[in-house]
Amino acid sequence: MAKRKSKFVCQECGYESPKWMGKCPECQNWNTMVEEFVASSSQNSYLHTFQGVSSTKKPEIITKIKSEKEPRITTKMPEFNRVLGGGIVPGSLVLIGGDPGIGKSTLLLQVSAQLADKAFPVLYISGEESTRQTKLRADRLGIKSDLLYVLSETNLLDVTNQIELLNPSFVVIDSIQTIYREEVSSAPGSVSQVRECTSELMRIAKSKGIPIFIVGHVTKEGSIAGPRLLEHMVDAVLYFEGERHHTFRILRGVKNRFGSTHEMGIFEMKEEGLREVNNPSEIFLEERSQGAAGSTVVASMEGSRPVLVEIQALISPTSYGNPRRMATGIDHNRVPLLMAVLEKRIGLMLQNQDAYVKVAGGVKLDEPAIDLAVAVSIASSFRNQPSRPDDVLIGEVGLTGEVRRVARIDQRVQEAAKLGFKRAIIPQKNLEGWTPPKSLEVVGVNSVQEALKAALGGA
């Protein structure tokens, strides 16, 4: 009897090796190499594919290919539709990741019920819960639809057979780490199982035009478990974020072949399920302290939507030789950079001060337009001098202390005016080409020094 061939595969990055190693040379993680047996039958079929078998498809000239706009299936959640680029594209394969208990299953069960209410047959496959457990969640969410089918199964062959029999318009797999293929000898959730199962699901989605949503577990670092190949295979990758002890959840697009990757949807977890937050700016500013030093408001763009967020800074004398620089919600490297600009160009002695900067509400901001608000917050806390509570600050700060123009200034200012702000401090170069609202005063500044004078009343 021939000896079975085996290989060792890293469960983090998918690196393969003929022998076991304690440390993966690709991702540098320890104890991630697991032995997996190579199936000879699949290997023979793979070789047979390239031995004189002609393909029925022929290449086409790109100018003669008819371009048709993909029709989209919309749900009753505009936030969910916008993150996907306007709705669900038929035949798309979407991966949703998030921390345990954050609400991934709740979100997809609500979406499935809304699609079933629109006369679309939906197949919800749960590999982690029984049908009775799924029914309990559906009762809590108030879901009553005769076109929503629930299946508790982990065998990929049985899953594909049920899809063939039912021919649904929408499929949910919860989760991909529990699905296994019998031909693959490794355990469910391994690199080989995840790769093979996702490939089969992708084939079904593309050949039948069925949108399939896949739930993926995340690692302790917050990334989706399994190889990066999984994210490359799917059409869209969505992350469901938020603190388990807070009610707000953020659905963020990381990859999307059919839309923008900068969109963000905000939900609130209630007893009866997830509820959309139509105006997130009010939510993020409702607990803002009036007249507190170190607090400013910035209008940030999240995809096509402007969001007003509070930025808080706390500057205090250090008790150690090296002062601390901590940031939550923004890039931690941005804080020492802006503090160096304030020290060099404005003359603030910050080298012996601890700095703590936070974006209130748990939002993560990564655009340069928040620089001016962060710099004014730091100066406000250092001087213990509050800025005006009805001010909003927008602008990028350069290393020479200049305030540079930003994109979509009109949308940012309109959002600030809608929420009752009276003044906007923006770059001087952004004053041209648009008409500000009458209820809001617009102040143009060329440097950080001018911005501090306008916001705090001093040079």
Q: Which domains occur in the chain, in start order? A: 6-43 (no CATH), 72-278 (3.40.50.300), 282-456 (3.30.230.10)
* Least confident range of 120-134, 153-167, 230-244, 385-399: 230-244
445 Cβ contact list (under 8 Å, min separation 6): 395, 403, 425, 426, 427, 428, 451, 454
Q: What rounded mean pLDDT belongs to the chain?
A: 87
Under the banding of pLDDT at 50, 70 and 90, the label for residue 56 is low
379 vs 362: which has the higher pLDDT: 379
pLDDT digits (tens, 9 = 90+) for 404-413: 999 999 999 9
The reply to whether 98 sits in an annotated binding site is yes
The reply to whether 212 sits in an annotated binding site is no
**Average pLDDT value for residue range 205-226:** 80
Cis before 387? omega within 30: no
The reply to whether 105 sits in an annotated binding site is yes
The reply to whether 420 sits in an annotated binding site is no
* Least confident range of 70-84, 134-148, 246-260: 246-260
Residue whose entry in the numeric block shows the structure tokens 């577990």: 217
Tell me what pLDDT residue 68 has.
73
36 vs 315: which has the higher pLDDT: 315
In terms of Cα–Cα distance, which of 104, 149, 90 is closest to 123? 149
Asked if the model's pLDDT at residue 222 lies above 60, the reply is: no
Tell me what pLDDT residue 288 has.
84
Amino acid, single-letter form, for residue 74: T
Asked if the model's pLDDT at residue 431 lies above 50, the reply is: yes
Tell me what pLDDT residue 44 has.
44
The reply to whether 102 sits in an annotated binding site is yes
pLDDT digits (tens, 9 = 90+) for 125-176: 999 999 999 999 999 999 989 999 999 999 999 999 999 999 999 999 998 9
Asked if the model's pLDDT at residue 357 lies above 60, the reply is: yes
**Average pLDDT value for residue range 53-81:** 81
Residue whose entry in the numeric block shows the structure tokens 């994109």: 407
Phi, psi of 63 (to 5 degrees): -75, -15
Asked if the model's pLDDT at residue 40 lies above 80, the reply is: no
Strand partners, 297: 310
Tell me what pLDDT residue 150 has.
96
35 vs 213: which has the higher pLDDT: 213
For residue 270, how many other CB atoms are within 10 A of its CB?
10
Give the chain's length.
Answer: 459
CA separation for the pair 304, 414 (Å, rounded)? 13
320 Cβ contact list (under 8 Å, min separation 6): none
**Average pLDDT value for residue range 55-82:** 84
Under the banding of pLDDT at 50, 70 and 90, the label for residue 51 is very low
